[in-house]
Chain A
Amino acid sequence: MAKDNFMEKLKAFWDRNVAKSRLGQLFIVLFVITIFFVLTEPKFFRWQTYESMLLQMSELGILAIGVFLCILVGGLNISILGSANLSALMAGLFMLSMARDGMTDAQLNLLVLQAFGVAILVGALCGLFNGIIVGYFRLPPLLATLGTGSLFIGLFKGITSGESIFGYPENLGFIGGGKLLGIPVPFYLFLGATVIMYILLHYTKFGYRMYMTGANETTAIFSGIDTRSVIMKTYIVAGILSSITGMIILSRTMSANYDYGAATYVLFTIFVAVISGSRAGFGSVINMFVAMFALQTLQTGFNYLLQTVRGNTYFRDFIWGLLLIVFLIINYFTNVKRIEQN
C-alpha cells in the first residue's frame, strides 16, 4: 500500500513538474547533457570550464533575451546582432575620438562609462527604428528585421570600409574580461538582465501588456491596450539589450568587427527560443536562462570532444543546424500533445 501511494505521488510530481512544465524538461535536458560530458570528457567538470561557459553564454544570452521579448509580443528580431555590432562600433569610435594622451585612470574609466552610454543610445535608436516599422507601419517582423539587420551591418561596413576598428583604452577590458568574486563580469550583466526582465514581465503593467499583445492582439486592442506602442517599446528594450552584448564583445575582442558572430548567433538565439518553448504570448525568461545554460553546456562539450578534429568549426555548424531542425520537429510533437490535451 505504502508503495502504491509513493508511486502515485511520484506520478503526480512527474506530471506537474516535468510532463507539463517546460522548465522541468529543460532541467532534465541540462542534467543529461552535463552527465554525458562529465562521463566522456574528464576535463569537463572543472571550475575553469564553467567560468569560461559563464563568460560565453552571457554574450549570447543577453541577445537571446532580446529576441525572446520580440517573440513574446508576436514578432521576431533578426537584426539584433547587427544592432549589437553597430552600437559597439559607435561606442568604439566615440572612445577613439575622445581619448587623449595622458588621461588618468579615473578619466579613462569615465570615458568607458560614457562609451557604454553611447552604445545603449545607439542600441535604443536601432530598436526604435525596428519598433516604428514593425509596430506602426505593420511590416512583417521577420522581413522588417531581416532588412534592418542588413541595414545596420551595411552602415557599419560603409563607415569603416569593411575594416575592423581597434586601439581602445585598456580600461575597456574590464566589462568583458574582468572578474568579480571569481565570476566573469558579463555574467553579472546577463543575470542582471534576466532579473530585470523577470520583474518587468511579471510585476509591471508593461510586462502584462506584452503578454496580452502577443497572446491575442485584437483582444488586447479591445481591452484598451495601445499594442503599437507596446510593440515599439519592446523592440527598444531588445535594442538596448543588444547594445550591452555589443559592449561585451567590444571589450572582450578589443575590436569592432561587422561580421562578428555572423550566421550562428542568429541561429543560436532562435534555437534558445525554440527549446525554451517561447512563442507569441507565452514563455518565461527563467526558461530562457536555463535553456541558454543547456545550449552553452552543449557547445562547450562539443568543443572538448571535437578538439582534435580538423575543421571542427564547420562540423559544429553542421551539428547546430541539425539540432535546430531536430528540436523544431520535437517541438511539433509537444505542440500536438498540447493541442490534444486542450
Chain B
Amino acid sequence: MKLKIFKSYEFLLFLLLIAFAGMIGLFNPAFFSIGTLFDVIRIQTIYILMAFGLLPVLILGGVDISFVAIAAVSTFPIHMWLIGLGYEGGIWLYYILCTAVGILVGLLIGFLLDTFKIRIFDLSLGMNTLLYGFTLFFVGSLTNFDMPAGMVGWNQRWLFTVQSVVGISGLHISFISIFIVGFLLHYFLRYTTLGRGVFAVGSDKSVAIRTGFNLRKVYMTVFPIMGALSAIAGLTYSVLEANFRPYLFLGKNMQVLAACVLGGAAVTGGRGSVLGTFLGTILIGLVNQALVYLGFETQWFDFVVGTIFIIYATFQTATTRSKR
C-alpha cells in the first residue's frame, strides 16, 4: 500500500512541485514564504474549481472551451438582475442562482451533444461565442462595480492571515470550497456507477454502451457539473475582485486545460484524478508566480504554459503508447 502511494503519479507531481518551488527559492529567497503560498492558492482557487469542472469532460475524451463563457453567462446576468431588483442580502442567493444557471446551460450542452452526436469541441466553440455574445449584447458590456450590502467585505473573510514581505497575506474562506467540491467529485468519479461510466466512455465509447452505460445520462451529468463549477468559480472570482464582468475569464481556457493535462488527465480520455488536477493547477500557478519572482515579464506566461502543455502531452502520449 505504501509503495503504491510513492509510485503514483500524484506523488511524482507533488515532488516536482516541491522541487520547482525550491529552485525558484534559490534564485529569490523572498519566494519561499507562507505569503507566496497563500497568494498562489488564492489566485488558483478559481482555476482549481474550473479545472475540477473540466476534468470529467477530459476523462470523457472531449475538449471543451466554453466553460469560461458559462462562468460569464451565469454570473453577470444574475448580478445585473438582482442589483436591478435592489437586492441587499448575502452571497448565498447568488450562489444558488448562479449555480442553477450553470447547471441549466450544462444540461443544454449535454442534451445537444447526445441528441445530435456533435463533437464536444465543435459545440463548445459555438457555445463559447454564443454565450459571450449573449452576455455582452443582451445584458451589458461594461464592468459593474455595485455590490449588494450583504456581500461587501466577503472578500476579506480570511481563514487566517500572515505578515509577509509584501504585506498581509491571508487564506480566503473560499479555499474550503476546493475541499468540499474536490471530495464530492472524487467520490462521484471513483465510487458511483455513473462516475465509472465517465471513465468507461472515455476509454472506449462503443464498449461502454454495450456494457450498458447510458450515454445520455453520462453527458447529462458531466456537463451540468462543469457548468455548476464554472458558475461557482466565476462568482467567487467576481466577489473577490469586487466587480462583475461580462467578459469574465475570456481567453483563460488554455491555462485550465493545461493544468488538467499536467495533473494527469489523459489527452485521449479515460484517465485523470481530482488530486492530480489540484496539484497541476497549483503547479501552473507557481509557474506564473515564478515568472514574476524571476524578473520575467508576465507576457511570457502564455508561452510558458503552452510549452509545458506540449512537452507534457507529448511525454504522456509517448509513455502510454510504449506501455501498450
Contacts and interface: CB of A to CB of B under 8 A. Distances in A.
Chain B interface main SS type: helix
Contacts of A318: 129-130, 133-134, 137-138
Interface in B120-135: 121-123, 125-134
Interface residues of A, number: 47
A147 B127 contact: no
A140 B305 contact: no
A63 to B, nearest CB: 15
* Top 7 A-B pairs, shortest CB-CB distance: A321-B130, A154-B303, A318-B133, A154-B302, A151-B306, A317-B133, A321-B129
Contacts of A319: 133
B61 to A, nearest CB: 9
A320 B126 CA distance: 7
B268 interface: yes
Nearest to B65: A146
A270 interface: yes
Contacts of A329: 112, 116, 118
B8 interface: no
Nearest to A161: B299
A161 B297 contact: yes
Nearest to B61: A140
Contacts of B318: 137
B110 to A, nearest CB: 14
A262 interface: yes
A139 B118 CA distance: 21
Interface stretch (B24-32, B236-244, B309-317): B309-317
B97 interface: no
A175 to B, nearest CB: 28
B137 A332 contact: no
Contacts, number: 146
Contacts of A267: 125-126, 128-129
A29 B128 CA distance: 25
Given A142-B121, A151-B306, A318-B134, A328 B126 contact: yes
Interface in B62-86: 63, 65
Contact of A322 (B122, B130, B267, B305): B130
Given A158-B300, A325-B127, A316 B133 contact: yes
A162 interface: yes
Contacts of A147: 254, 258, 306, 309-310, 313
A220 interface: no
A150 B130 CA distance: 22
A158 B258 CA distance: 18
A270 B125 contact: yes
Interface string B268-308: 10000000000000000000000000000101111111110
Contacts of A161: 297, 299
13 contacts: A133-B310, A143-B313, A147-B306, A154-B307, A157-B300, A158-B299, A263-B128, A263-B129, A314-B132, A315-B133, A318-B130, A321-B126, A325-B123
Contacts of B304: 154
B261 interface: yes
B321 interface: yes
A325 B310 contact: no
Given A154-B302, A325-B123, A139 B317 contact: yes
Contacts of B131: 321
A82 to B, nearest CB: 9
A95 interface: no
B303 A151 contact: yes
B126 A325 contact: yes
A324 interface: yes
Contacts of A325: 112, 123, 126-127, 130
A311 B137 CA distance: 6
Interface string B159-187: 00000000000000000000000000000
A315 B137 CA distance: 6
Contact of B306 (A154, A315, A316): A154
B117 interface: yes
B254 A150 contact: yes
Interface string A153-179: 111011011100000000000000000
B42 to A, nearest CB: 24
Given A142-B121, A324-B125, A150 B112 contact: no
Given A315-B137, A317-B136, A318-B130, A133 B314 contact: yes
